[in-house]
A and B are shown apart, each in its own frame.
Chain A
Amino acid sequence: MSQVQDLPIDQDYKYGFETDVEQDIMPPGLDEDVIRNISAKKGEPEWLTEYRLAAYAAWLEMTEPHWAHLKYTPIDYKAISYFAVPKRVVLDSLDDLDPEIKATFDKLGIPLDEQKMLAGVAVDAVFDSVSVATTFRAKLLEQGVIFMSISEAVHEYPEMVKKYLGSVIPVRDNFFAALNAAVFTDGTFVYIPPGTRCPMELSTYFRINARGTGQFERTLIIADKGSYVSYLEGCTAPMRDENQLHAACVELVALEDAVIKYSTVQNWYPGNKDGVGGIYNFVTKRGKCLGNRSKISWTQVETGSAVTWKYPSCLLIGDDSVGEFYSVAVTNNHQQADTGTKMIHLGKNTKSTIVSKGISAGKSTQSYRGLVQINPKATGARNHTQCDSLLIGDLCGAHTFPTVDVRNNDSQVEHEATTSSIGEDQLFYCRQRGLSEEDAVALIVNGFCKDVFRELPMEFAIEATKLLAVTLEGAVG
């Protein structure tokens, strides 16, 4: 196996380091025994083992989907190790955390010491297959907010996990979701009690470290009646010449009048300039607006991964419920992204907004894929879709695959789409005013993404702006 430091790596990816930490890794391959083993190692109740096995049986009958506009080397599911845990995981106190892991998160700009943290942000840190630290738990619990790893929630709040796990994304939903249900190892669990506004931003930071492994996390967020939560996830991985699989599931449930705002800054290793290595990001994210007047808002900034397959969606079940999807996806070099959303209108007077901004540079390919479905009972439903593509250079591609399916006569659907390129005249104008070419590109791209960035929490909007500039470095000229 080649060494990380020998690779022709992309110096612009500053999160590409590897942490040397003693790990408990299962041998590659997947069968019922591996699943029983994972479940046993986590000391799971019987029902969850059965849930996993049922998912595995379903998965065996399914085939990997290939309808997306993506090309990638086939995944050898037998070559992946499905469980990698640092040996020294202690969940009782942050002080007992392996110093190497702590240092890793420090280096990523996510200090796990509560006193050093960004004011008002609580973090769950997931390292390979396991949650290694969750900050501000006690403080949040004072207000009834449950914020912990899903492994712990299985033991502490089994009824709640049992009730909602798989209730938004059924086991048989799709190939990757079935795989996730069979082998998921950790992730975050959040519950916000009725009428509570979560006093801080909650976030999970995902880090893939071990070689030859996949990451399969599961996140479950439940916002009870009249509550509010803003949640953010970030992710990075070392630079490697192998492709690693990340197949996560995120389920959101919003009850009456509840609001969930879910933001993602996805910065998995994208592979090098020649398209070698990088993460396969095959993720299923879905939210259920179960209660009347509930609202789920997805905001995503996708800059990393070699291949992205991701459609955060909303099931608008409650009357007057609202779904939103704000997305910026940037691809450079050989990256590929097929991303978009599904808005399924089921309740009366439901409303959805889709704003998608795709930026393609280098030899990358990007597709927006969306479904707006207005069902017969969803009278008075409204959707507005704005879908813009920006091309940098003439070797990249942008595609749009919108589907609109309206099944009543009382709804209103609008779809606007534009494709533009960064004009030579725009660049010259900026440069004539003293801006370098790269600053000019960053400025124009930021302007293009503004409608999405303003949906992000303040400090993450700044982070996203910087990430965009790094991703597009060298894209022009």
Chain B
Amino acid sequence: MSVTSTLVPTILGEYGAMTRAALRDYLPAREPRRHLYDLVADYPLRGGKMMRPSLCIAAACAFGARPDDALGAAVSIELLHNALLIHDDIEDGSEQRRGRPTLHLEHGVPLALNAGDTLALVGLRPLFEYPGRLGADLALRLVQEAERMALISAEGQALELGWRHDNLIDLTDADYLRMVLKKTCWLATIFPLRAGALIGSRAALDLDAFIRFGFFLGATFQIQDDLLNLVADRSYGKERDGDLWEGKRTLMLIRLFRESAPADRDRLTAILRAARAERTAADVGWIRAQIDRYDCVEYARRYAHRLAGAALHEYSLAFANVPDSRDKRFLEEMVTWVVERN
């Protein structure tokens, strides 16, 4: 396995372009544009890595489907992802998304919320075309999978928002992984892999193996994302140290609280109790320095590497006896890519 994959960016570009072209057909091009459909189209047209739709198409192709068979599911995944991003940005008070101001900062919370709701409904449309393409059973399974993903993602978001609401910091790594499994992994990796495997195998596979592989891949992805928020340059596309401003419970923050001296814990608790608008640059700078002092970045990096190892193990089980193909190799190399990306 190569350390730096060239296949991953190639396939992300290829399947990403396919998905981007197809999703335009689902974005309503009618009135009211100014206060609804222009906003609905905003995030999907800003670009992005297209990891989720690419995972779906690749998983389907690895099991023998054509890319076209999985394109509808891929478009649905990308649109649903963008719908949730709009809501996440409001809930987290985020300021930047893909290098530009977040939707609610540009248009206000009410219009952004409405656009997010609309985009979630628009995101279901591609799934409703599957009965004619692949049969009614499989189409309904896809809708069920989408519903399950949406509910679990909401549960994960509630976990994290609840921690912040109650200013809970004394959390364990298991708490963090449980939250990431629900909030991130189901939408980012598990649902795309399961949808792809469903389509590729015509619903003949037990999909539990893809929950395991998707969990380890998705958790690795999320920890790396949290790390990039602290150390990445401007190309990252999000606000530097934005997670600290927002008080997100990352693996680094949880370790910091665990390892801190009592006085430092008290100070950390007080800073995180304050609303984002009341937090100062000095507060955030102090937390950032403490993260370095307690080696939290390296700790999280090591953790991500370990999860990546487990992801490779689960990959080998989920794709055992599957013929070698470009798509299969892409899925394997994704594990390395998520920890190497910047």
Question: Do these two chains really belong together in a complex?
Answer: no
